[in-house]
Structures are given as C-alpha cells and as structure tokens.
Amino acid sequence: MATGRYMNVMLLHSVRSLLAVAVALAGLPACVTPSSEAAAPAAAREVTFFVASDTHFGVPGIEERNRRLIEELNGLPGLEYPPEIGGRVETPRGVLITGDLTDYSTEEQWQQFESFYGHTGKEGLLRFPVFEALGNHDFMGDTPVVRHITRRHGGVAYSFDWDDLHVACLGMYPNGERLRWLEKDLRSVRAGRPVILFFHYGIDGAWSHSWESQEEREDLARVLSGHRVVAIFHGHAHHAGHYRWREYDVFRPGSPKHSSRQVLAVRLRGDELAVAYRDFDRSVWTDAQVRSVGTAVAGAAGMEPPPDRARP
Ligand SMILES: [Fe+2]
C-alpha cells in the first residue's frame, strides 16, 4: 500500500475535520437537503450507495447465496469502513445491480429476483431501493426481463439524480442506440456535476470483448469528453476488481455465482470517492480505494484481472 497516498488521505481527513468543526461552530447545517436540481456545494456532498452484480437467479443453490448477500448489504450501514477510508457506512441511497439478474431470462427467474431484491426497499428482503441493469443472461428467449426493467425504470437505459450526482444506467453496454440516449441525457447535466455510469459488460480486460466494435469504445470516450465522470461500474466478470480506462476509474463487484463474492460500498463525499470491497460470505473488507475526483489519485495496490473461465 502506498504510504504517500495514505498520508494524503489522512491529510484530507484532518482538513475535513477542521472544516466540520468550523461549520458546527457557525451553526450551519452539515449537509444540504437532497434536491436534484438545487445542487449541494461540493464540500457538503455526501452520497452513499452499494453495488452488486450477477445474481443469476435460476442457478441451483443461488437463492441462499443471494440471501446472504442481501443480509450483508442490510447490515453495512453503521459499520466502520477500512482505515484507508475512515468513518462509518451511511444508509445508502440505493443499490446498483450491474446485470445478469437471471440465469436464463425466464419469468420465474425474474420473479425470484424481484421477490429477493424488491424495488423500492419495501417489497423484498433488501431494505434499499434497487436500480438494475440488463445483462446478457437477461436477454434470451422472450426476454421478460427487458419488459420488467422498462416497467420499473422507464427503459433499459435510464438515469436519475442523488443530489447533484447524476447516475446513468446503460443496460448491457453503451452500444450505438444507448450511446445516443446517453449523449442526449448528459446534455441536461450542468457542467461540473459528478456523473457515474453503470452497465453489464466490462470495458477493458478479460470478459470485455462482447462489444460489437472498438469504435463503440471510441464513441463512448467522445460522448463522455467534457463531462465529469467520477466512476464507472460494471459486472459480467464475476470477479471483483478495478482498473483505469482512459481517464476514468472503473470498479466491479464479484458475483454470488462464483467464488469472488464481493459487493461494493461507495461514498462520494465532497470531491473524494471511496470504494470499499466487502466479502459477503466472510463479512470482511477486502480492499479499499480512495480517489480525489477533482484530480485523479492512484489507489492502493490493484487487484488481479479475472482469470479466464467458463462463460460468466
Ligand atoms: Fe454473469
């Protein structure tokens, strides 16, 4: 682990503590009431959310592993983050699930997904709102999953705001049609506001070769240019990790289908992005990444790329 980076993080915490004291002495609110258009000042920004992936309902025995995953997510608020991040996990605004909700896109498998994960945090076992992406396993046969995602969110590609953080879901991946949607969607996002994207396929490394062409990646880079994209999340690899693509930080959770059983707890506080990796089988933190999203800072030692194995 880089000592210099750790010191930078500690320095940030010290500065933030002094600011918090100054704010308290002045009698000012420590945070601003959420509002999509009335953006909070960067210093007051605090958004927490979780990311999980590849729930694969339909695989024998997967229900129990998803039940364990959900129990872990429900229990994260209040836990202390790893020391590199500091502080405690706040109640998340929601949970992003980056695709392959089902194993073979049947209605029965979707119903299982929905009965476990719910939608608004009240219908299923999970206590938080859910925002799901379409995976390749959700796009087979008559694809009822497409209809259900559209019913719940208005389309396979959709977006929403958590305070001034803009969140865009691009379904399986940003192909031509969804990229045109994204280009239009981002026109309504004021310059300087942080943006995150989530979808299913990887952009780089193993299991990232299902895009139709390299041109699509070039088009994505062009559409993102000039926007403040602070993180991209995806699934499909069934192997937790992170990497840089162009100037963007990319993070992915594991999957209950395979042995990399990790979910992400993400905190955007001011201009600092923190991503903690939580093993939901063992209930331990396994990695912590901290970035200044004003100027990118290298994180802790990177995780290994996913090994080649059977189709995710
Ligand atoms: Fe998968």
Domains by residue range for the chain, with CATH: 47-292 (3.60.21.10)
Residue 207 burial (CB count, 10 A)? 20
Cα dist. 67→63, 71, 207, 221 in Å? 6, 6, 26, 37
Contact status, residue 12 vs residue 271, Cβ threshold 8 Å: no
Residue 275 burial (CB count, 10 A)? 23
CA 150 / ligand 1 centre spacing (Å): 20
Q: Which of the two residues, 248 and 12, has the higher pLDDT score?
A: 248
Least confident of 60-74, 204-218, 281-295: 204-218
CA 123 / ligand 1 centre spacing (Å): 24
Cα separation, 41 vs 276, in Å, equals 24
Tens of pLDDT, residues 7-26: 343 344 443 443 333 333 33
Q: Are strands 241-245 and 194-199 parallel, antiparallel or unpaired?
A: unpaired
CA 238 / ligand 1 centre spacing (Å): 6
Mean per-residue pLDDT, 116-136: 98
pLDDT > 90: what percent of the chain?
Answer: 75
pLDDT at 40: 54
pLDDT band at 140 (very low <50, low <70, confident <90, very high): confident
Chain mean pLDDT for the chain: 85
pLDDT at 9: 39
Mean per-residue pLDDT, 269-279: 97
Tens of pLDDT, residues 170-211: 999 999 999 999 999 999 999 899 999 999 999 988 788 888
Helices 107-117/62-75 angle, 10° precision:
30
58 phi and psi angles, rounded to 5 deg: 120, -25
End-to-end CA distance of the chain: 30
For residue 37, what is the DSSP state? S
CA 124 / ligand 1 centre spacing (Å): 22
Give me the residues paired with residue 232 across strands. 197, 250
Cα separation, 230 vs 187, in Å, equals 17
Cα-based angle 201, 206, 208 (whole degrees, multiple of 5): 30
Give me the residues paired with residue 274 across strands. 267, 290
Contact status, residue 254 vs residue 239, Cβ threshold 8 Å: yes
The region, left, alpha or beta by phi > 0 then psi within -120 to 50, assigned to residue 192 is left
Closest CA to 133 of 116, 115, 113: 113
Q: How many helices (H) and strands (E) does the chain have?
A: 6, 12
Cα separation, 225 vs 73, in Å, equals 34
Cα separation, 133 vs 141, in Å, equals 18
Cα separation, 266 vs 287, in Å, equals 12
Cα separation, 193 vs 163, in Å, equals 10
CA 154 / ligand 1 centre spacing (Å): 23
Cα-based angle 250, 174, 215 (whole degrees, multiple of 5): 95
Tokens 């594991």 -> residue: 254
CA 311 / ligand 1 centre spacing (Å): 8
pLDDT of 279 higher than 50: yes
Report, in angstroms and rounded to the nearest whole number, the Rg of the chain calculated over CA atoms. Answer: 19
CA 88 / ligand 1 centre spacing (Å): 30
Rounded to two decimals, what is the model's pTM?
A: 0.83
CA 312 / ligand 1 centre spacing (Å): 4
Cα separation, 79 vs 81, in Å, equals 6
Q: Which of the two residues, 33 and 121, has the higher pLDDT score?
A: 121
CA 66 / ligand 1 centre spacing (Å): 14
Tens of pLDDT, residues 63-92: 999 999 999 999 999 999 999 999 999 999
